[in-house]
Every structure is written in C-alpha cells, then in structure tokens.
Amino acid sequence: MSETVKLTLDEIHGLSLTILKNAGYGPDHATAIADLLTTCQIDDCHSHGLFRLLMCAETMDAGKVDGHVAPVITPSDNAIVRVDARGGISLLAFHEALPHLIEKTRTHGIAAMAINRCFHFSALWPEVEQLSSAGLAAMAMVPSHSWVAPAGGTRGSLGTNPLAFSWPRQGQDPFTFDFATSAFARGEIELYRRAGKPLPDGVALDKEGNPTTDPHAAMEGAMLTFGGYKGSALSIMIELLAGPLIDDLTSLESLAYADGTSSAPYHGEIILAFDPAQFSGGRVDENDARAERLFADITGQGARLPSQRRYAARARNRARGYAEISKTLHDDLLALVR
C-alpha cells in the first residue's frame, strides 16, 4: 500500500490557496477553485481534488488563462443566464451567476446557465448539488479536449464530456451522479500512470488505434466511450448542447486552441435547473414520496445509489477532521509552494 499523508480540512484549503496564488491566480479565482478542490478532496474524489492543482499551475504556466479577470453576466428577461468567463476558470463565473439561475428557475420553472469562454478542469457534481440544496433538480454538461474516440473510430474526436445530475431529497443527501461519457476520466488515467498500474480492458487505444492497457500509451492515443455506441451518442449530444448550442467550442476546437500546451480545456458549459414545485403543479411532497419509494426499492435489494460512497467518505473525513492523499502527490504539491 502506498504511503499517505494526512491533511486537516483547513490544511487542504490553505494549501490550495497558497499554490493557486503562487501560480498567479487572484484572490477571487483562487478562493472559488480552492473551495471546489476542498469539497472534492473531503469526499475522497482523488482525481478531482488536490491532484487538480497540478493542472491549474500548468494552465497558468501555459499563458492561456487569466487568473484575475472578472466574469460578466448579461441581463435578460428570458430563462437564460449568460455569463462570459472572459478567459478565466469557470468556477468564479458559476459562483457569480448562480443566484441569477436560481431566481430565474423559480420564476420560469426551468432555466439555463450558459458559461462561455472558460477554462474548465473540475467536477460538475459540486455545482449541481448547490442547486439541489436550493430545492431544485439540475444537470450540467461540458465538452473538454478531443481525447476520446467515437465508437468504431481510432482517434480522438470527442471530449470526456461529463454529465452531472442532482435531485433534492428532504433531510438527506441528494441523489447525484457525475460521470464522464468516456470509460475513464482523463484524471483517472493519469493517476494510473503515476501509480504504474495497467488500465482495465476497454478503456483506451494507443496512437495506432489498437486497444491498450498501458496508461502511457493511452495518454498518447485515445480514450474510449463507455457503452460503445450508446456512450458515443451521448457524448456527441453533450458536444452539441455545451458547444454550438451556446455559441462555444467543441472538444476538437478546444484541443486546437491549447496548441500543444498542458492547459485545461477551453470551451463553454451549460447548466439546466428545474423547479419541482412548478413542474409537479405544487404536489412536491407527494412526488418526493414517490421518488423516495423508488430509492428505497433500489437500496432494499442491495444496490447502491450513485454517490453513496462519496457521502460516506464526506461524513467520515468531516468527523475525523482530515483526509488522506498519497505522499507522492503531496511531495509534488509542496514543490509548487515557493
């Protein structure tokens, strides 16, 4: 078993802030990013926790991202919140526009946030869970870089293209899922590479288009979608909804924009929110009970709801006051503290 380092929850947030500010992010962006990374690390989401500080630093070093720019929200009378990240990380744009999305959803019953011209590297579930904590159902989608081959293809055309959804539950953690439409998230392959472990079958192709379990070859080749043609079609849908629909880049265009640098993907994001009170005609309690009967039937046969393991990790780490990361990662992060 690899050696680990224990960090208190305050140390996780403090280390994130220090590294981000040293890398060149202003206080508003640094705080938004540190809050997200701390949330993910507390939930033992290692691929999207402190590990992502390395990408944040690389993106800044590549000279692509603006670590100080303020997002601009465009006023509207319709159900769409448009926010221009102006070449900054997406998280501050989301944070600034979130109250507007909640207000419009409660006004219209359904509303959407379109974030344009943003760098995105993070998990989506913390965003949709902020909406479910406000009593709204929500989903979010982003493209990425074209690292993923379509079903039947041999080279990257699609992004990892995650989809997240969260459903509010009274007095309980929400029903939430967040998964890439690729068989593995890019960060997971990088963690396998760092650990010297082979990938499972069916995850990636090498640069010649042949199946591979070598994470090094996978990083040079292409990833695969989950579920064959079904995952591929879902990934294409996300390309369209989070790209051309909102006047932003596809994953192919995002990779071209990176121009060979190790920067986070540059594109847009779409978030949809739904007001259960309006959709159910005011019968929220009755329909909450209907949803709970469904959840109970699932768990009653021994199945686990998505995110249950993550919620258990959150409760455990909060109770003991610390989370653990690998010593190798900790050493790499300390090298960024200068």
The candidate with the shortest Cα–Cα distance to 102, out of 71, 131, 74, is 131
Confidence (pLDDT) at 94: 98
For 23-68, write each residue's pLDDT tens digit: 999 999 999 999 999 999 999 999 899 999 999 999 999 998 999 9
Q: Any idea which residues carry the catalytic annotation?
A: 47-48, 188
Q: Does residue 224 surpass a pLDDT of 90?
A: yes
Report residue 84's pLDDT band, with 50, 70 and 90 as the boundaries: very high
How far is the C-alpha of 186 from the C-alpha of 48, rounded, in Å? 10
Q: What is the overall mean pLDDT for the chain?
A: 95
Confidence (pLDDT) at 195: 86
How far is the C-alpha of 161 from the C-alpha of 143, rounded, in Å? 5
For 297-314, write each residue's pLDDT tens digit: 999 999 999 999 999 999
Least confident piece of the model among 113-122, 181-190, 226-235: 181-190
How far is the C-alpha of 263 from the C-alpha of 65, rounded, in Å? 8
For 159-212, write each residue's pLDDT tens digit: 999 999 999 999 999 999 999 999 987 778 888 998 899 999 999 999 999 999
CA 187 to chain centre: 11
**pTM (predicted TM-score):** 0.93
- Residue, of 191 and 69, whose pLDDT is higher: 69
Q: Does residue 335 surpass a pLDDT of 60?
A: yes
CB 299 within 8 A of CB 169: no
Confidence (pLDDT) at 2: 72
For 121-166, write each residue's pLDDT tens digit: 899 999 999 999 999 999 999 999 999 999 999 999 999 999 999 9
The region that residue 307 occupies, defined by phi over 0 for left and psi between -120 and 50 for alpha, beta otherwise, is left
The candidate with the shortest Cα–Cα distance to 167, out of 329, 16, 306, is 306
CB 24 within 8 A of CB 336: no
How far is the C-alpha of 322 from the C-alpha of 47, rounded, in Å? 18
CB 113 within 8 A of CB 271: yes
For 246-296, write each residue's pLDDT tens digit: 999 999 999 999 998 888 999 999 999 999 999 999 999 999 999 999 999
The bridge status of strand 148-149 relative to strand 222-224 is parallel
| Helices 27-42, 308-320: crossing angle, 10 deg rounding | 100
Confidence (pLDDT) at 144: 95
Q: Does residue 1 surpass a pLDDT of 80?
A: no
How far is the C-alpha of 79 from the C-alpha of 95, rounded, in Å? 18
CB 276 within 8 A of CB 219: no
